[in-house]
Each structure stands twice: as structure tokens, then as C-alpha cells.
Amino acid sequence: MGIYTILRPLLFRLPPETAHDLTLKALAMTGRVIPARTPDDHILACTVLGKKFPNPIGLAAGFDKNGEIMGGVLKLGFGFTEIGTLTPLPQPGNSRPRVFRLPGHEAVINRLGFNNLGQVAAYHRLSLFRAGMTRRGESAIVGVNIGANKNSDDRIADYEKGAARFAPLADYLTVNISSPNTPGLRDLQALPQVTKIVTRVRKVAPDTPILVKIAPDLDMDDALAVAQMAIEKDVDGLIVSNTTIDRQGIAGAHGGEEEGGLSGQPLFDASTAMLSEIYGLTRGRLALVGVGGIASPEQAYSKICAGADLVQLYTGLIYEGPWIIGHLRRGLAELLRRDGFDAFTMNRLAAATDLAKGTLYLYFATREELVLALYTDLHDGWMKRFIDAEKQMATPDYDALCARFYHSFVADALLVDLASRVTFGLEPHVPLAAWITAKQAQTRSAKRLGGMLCHIFGCDPAQAQRLAWAFLAGLSGAQQRAIDVDGRSDIPADLQKLSVVMTSREVFLNMVLPLAPYASNQNTPIQTLSK
């Protein structure tokens, strides 16, 4: 990133769109001579939409609208790229100026309006790119984002045309109904309209993965309704989210009054919250792509924790430069290893489940599929049984609740064994998909547990949610202490002993509170209960 710290002030002296055009030309000219990308850390590999991604970090639509720099983008280290938004006919977009930087917020406002050279030109470029990759024996994942012309008489037909044209070439199609810069386009997010669109798109593209890109400004109930529709109508996934028209995060900022979609750091929290809610409903039945405000490995990691299978960025590239992708790849791999994911074998799983390895492969094509089924079923089943039992508590009893929480977990030796493998990396090189599975199960547990704690102790939902995460943190601490330096001890037995100790209110609080960002809040229920 050092070079870009010199170049950025120069680029930022230019109008944003001029700087963007120069960047595109530079990447187009140098794409052929950019050295081959460094190999991806195998811990980042994941299979999504039936495609094998070298890493889960992609370039969002809007940067390479016309498919001019696909090769250069992938050489930089992106795991995939998405071109567009492409409309059937070329269109100039809205009048300039139409892009505005907000450096103090690391944000951008744009009202470009689907400016592009049309689908025919992009189809030609993508065809040549695919032919070149095939000739060289290389592979690349390229998605195509399709939209409707501003003056179209039949916008649904425009999406149908785009899907029919690009289905043979695209690794996936994105239906963009959430840009705020085409009048009336977001109205297509209404359930009847989006249902018509995806039905017609699926008809002309029966074998191509289809994603729908939604806005962060959707009411949560409407967003969840779209997600449910996607499941029912054979849509493969959602991209969460597009830019926002909300200006709360940039109140008073110079340029913040400009019309258009806001992207960058102010979008991170809202888009991540929507992502988490949608995952809570879909639970792996849809592929989810997390977009909005990613500029660091930690932010990419947070999106994955919230349920994303893949992530995308755009504005982060503007502020951090093309070297951000290398930083994200290295940092994300480090974060995954920090949390213990390093290897997982079918042999080990066979041993844990008392099944022959051949039997596992009979029902599960990959180890990721098995982990998803086994860990999710065991973890969700345990949490449901615990919550169903504790809802019947006559009077709040914190110490008794702690005891039963830990004891109910260690009662299932297989759950303990598998959770320890997945969560704390007893072996090297666990695939990203398995790690995502574990984190998503924990997130669901926290939501369910928070609801129960809110009911039992009468605290507000936010406090109950934080207390739920404290419970899970305590459980994780007990698990870690039960693992030998050289491998595994008798985990269930050791956890049994530790869980008894952990029922002590003082020990529990001392272990958990230093890890909790809300520890200083003297009004939290956990503080109140400790008195």
C-alpha cells in the first residue's frame, strides 16, 4: 500500500470519475504484463454456487462496468470479479458530476445511473476473455450484473434479455433491482415484481446460478420476504447489499447532501446487520455475498461471521488502492488460523462418528457438506433442547442456569468432539466453508439464547444478546482449557470438571468480562446479577 499513499493524493486532485477512468485504462494496459498472482492460501479456498473459488474476496459490480479489466483484476488477487451493471442498450447514465468522495468518512456517493456500453459490447469482451483463458488452460470466476434501461417500456423483459444473453458465459448472474440511481428501479424489489423477474430470468437461464442484489434501505420484513421468495423460486443467493440513500452516518459532511447511493464505511454496520438477519432465516439454503464498507481483513471476517459465503468490495479499493486485496487475503487467512482452523479430514470425521469413510463419501461429496450437516444438526439440536427446558424456569436463578448450560453441552460427547475440532483447530487446514458453518451456528445460538435470557431476566433485547454471547464465550473458554498442548485430552471429562468450576459466578465473570466490549457498562444484566 506504500506506493498508493503517494499516488492517492494525486488521484484525489482529479474529479472522481476521471480518476476512475484513468485507473481502468492503466489496468487495461498493464493487465497483460502484471505478474501472475501469488498462490492463494489454501485455507481461503471455498466452494459456493457449485464453483470453486480460490478465495472469497471479489470485486463488486460497478467498478468494471463493461468488462474491460477482468484479467488485470484477477491478477491482482481477487477470487472473482463481477462486471456490470449491463443494460440491453447502451446508455450514458446521469449527467456529470455524478460521483463524490467523502474522505473523512472513507465513503463515496454516486448517481451514475447504469452508464454502460450495452450488453453486446460486454458479451464480446467476455467471450474473448473466456476463449483466452481456455487457450491458456486457466480458469476464472466472472459474474455478470444485469439491469434495465432507464427508458425501457418493459423492464422485466430487459432482465430476461440480459439473462438469456450472458447465461452461457457467466459463472453467475446478478439481478440488480436495488440501485437508487434509476428512477423507479427499487420499486422492483416489491415482492410481486421481483418474483416475476426471477421467474422469467430462471426460465431463460435454467442452469446458471442467479443472485438478487438488494438494498440496505429495505424494511427488514421486506428483505426477509425477498429471501424467502428466493428460496421458493430457486434463486441461488442474495447480494447484501447495494448502496444506501440513508445519510445518518455522514450527517454534516461536506458533499453529504448530494443525491445518490452512499457506499463505504458508513454502510458497513447496516449491511452487515441485514446480512445476519437474512442468514438467520435462510440458514445456508441461499448463498450470501456480503458487500458494504469492507476495507480491512477484520471487516471481511465480520461479514463471514454474519453469514456471508463470499464478500465484495469497491469503495475500499478507491481509498486503499489495488494492494488492498493482498492485505485482505493475508489478513483473512491469519484471522482464520488465529481462531484455530487448520485441517479437517474425512478420516477424523469417520472416527468421530463411528462410520466408515466410504459411508461418509456415499452421502456427502465433500467434507464441507458433512461438516455442515453434522455440526449444524448437533449444535442446533443442543441449543433447542436447552432453551425449551429453561423456558419453564419458575424463578430466575443465574447460577443454576450457568450450571445447566455447560452440563447440557458436555452431555453430548460427539458435539464436544466436533465443536473442538471445528472451533479450535486441533488439526491444520480446515476449509473456510467448515469455519463459516461453525460461526453461523454460534450466531444462531446467540440469538436464540438471547431471547430466552430476555424472557427469564426481564432485560432489554440488546443486553440479553450481549449476555448470550458472554455465555458462549465462557463455554469456549472452558473448551480451550480442556485441550492439551499436544492434542486432545479426554475432552468431555475435562469439560465436565471445568463446567462445574465455571458455574461459580465470580470465576465466570472474571473470565468473560475482560473479553466483552460492554464490560464497563455497569447497567448490563450480567453486572446486576453479580451483585
Cβ-defined contacts of 401-405 (< 8 Å, 24+):
401/456, 402/471, 402/474, 402/502, 402/503, 402/505, 402/508, 403/499, 403/500, 403/503, 405/471, 405/475
- Write down the pLDDT at residue 152: 97
Contacts of 5 (CB under 8 A, 6+ apart): 321
Tell me which residue of 446, 445, 447, 425 sits closest to 435, measured CA to CA.
Answer: 425
368 compared with 436, residue with greater pLDDT: 436
Whether the ω angle into residue 97 lies within 30 degrees of 0, i.e. cis, is yes
pLDDT tens figures, 127-185: 999 999 999 999 999 999 999 999 999 999 999 999 999 999 999 999 999 999 999 99
- Write down the pLDDT at residue 43: 82
User: Does 304 score more than 50 pLDDT?
Assistant: yes
Instruction: Give the mean pLDDT of the chain.
Output: 82
17 compared with 422, residue with greater pLDDT: 17
- Write down the pLDDT at residue 437: 64
**C-alpha distances out from residue 389 to 123, 402, 403, Å:** 58, 13, 13
- Write down the pLDDT at residue 343: 37
438 compared with 1, residue with greater pLDDT: 438
User: Does 458 score more than 70 pLDDT?
Assistant: yes
- Write down the pLDDT at residue 352: 46
- Write down the pLDDT at residue 477: 65
Q: How confident is the model at residue 329 (pLDDT cuts 50, 70, 90)?
A: very high
Please name the residue that has the C-alpha cell 433491482: 177
CATH class of 342-529: mainly alpha
Tell me which residue of 213, 180, 172 sits closest to 194, measured CA to CA.
Answer: 213
- pTM equals 0.69
- Write down the pLDDT at residue 350: 55
- Write down the pLDDT at residue 506: 46
Q: How confident is the model at residue 33 (pLDDT cuts 50, 70, 90)?
A: low
- Write down the pLDDT at residue 4: 81
Tell me which residue of 306, 187, 178 sits closest to 242, measured CA to CA.
Answer: 178
Domains 2-336 and 342-529 share a fold: no
- Write down the pLDDT at residue 516: 35
- Write down the pLDDT at residue 486: 40
Percentage of the chain modeled with pLDDT above 70 = 76
Residue range 267-291: average pLDDT? 90
What H or E segment, with its residue span, contains residue 24?
helix 16-30
107 compared with 400, residue with greater pLDDT: 107
Q: How confident is the model at residue 514 (pLDDT cuts 50, 70, 90)?
A: very low
Can you read off the three cell numbers belonging to residue 285? Answer: 439454503
Distance CA 446, CA 439 (A): 11
Estimate to the nearest angstrom the gap between the alpha carbon of 424 and the chain centroid.
Answer: 21
445 compared with 198, residue with greater pLDDT: 198
Percentage of the chain modeled with pLDDT above 90 = 52
Distance CA 181, CA 402 (A): 52
User: Does 119 score more than 60 pLDDT?
Assistant: yes
- Write down the pLDDT at residue 202: 97
Tell me which residue of 432, 322, 372, 346 sits closest to 52, measured CA to CA.
Answer: 432
pLDDT tens figures, 334-386: 887 776 443 344 554 454 455 555 665 666 666 555 655 667 778 888 888 88
User: Does residue 179 have an active-site annotation?
Assistant: yes
Distance CA 407, CA 493 (A): 11
Q: What are phi and psi of 58, to 5 degrees?
A: -120, 165
Can you read off the three cell numbers belonging to residue 211? Answer: 443472485
CATH topology of domain 2-336: TIM Barrel (3.20.20)
Estimate to the nearest angstrom the gap between the alpha carbon of 108 and the chain centroid.
Answer: 21
Strand pairing class (261-264; 107-110): antiparallel
Lowest mean pLDDT among 158-167, 419-428, 497-506, 515-524: 515-524
- Write down the pLDDT at residue 438: 66
Residue range 312-324: average pLDDT? 95
Residue range 268-278: average pLDDT? 93
What H or E segment, with its residue span, contains residue 153?
none
Can you read off the three cell numbers belonging to residue 301? Answer: 471476517
From the candidates 179, 276, 420, 445, give the one annotated as an active-site residue.
Answer: 179
pLDDT tens figures, 381-425: 888 888 888 877 667 677 777 778 877 887 776 677 667 655 554
Quickly list DSSP for 289-304. EEESS--SHHHHHHHH
- The full set of domain ranges for the chain reads 2-336, 342-529
Tell me which residue of 112, 106, 105, 45 sits closest to 80, measured CA to CA.
Answer: 45
pLDDT tens figures, 221-250: 999 999 999 999 999 999 999 999 999 989
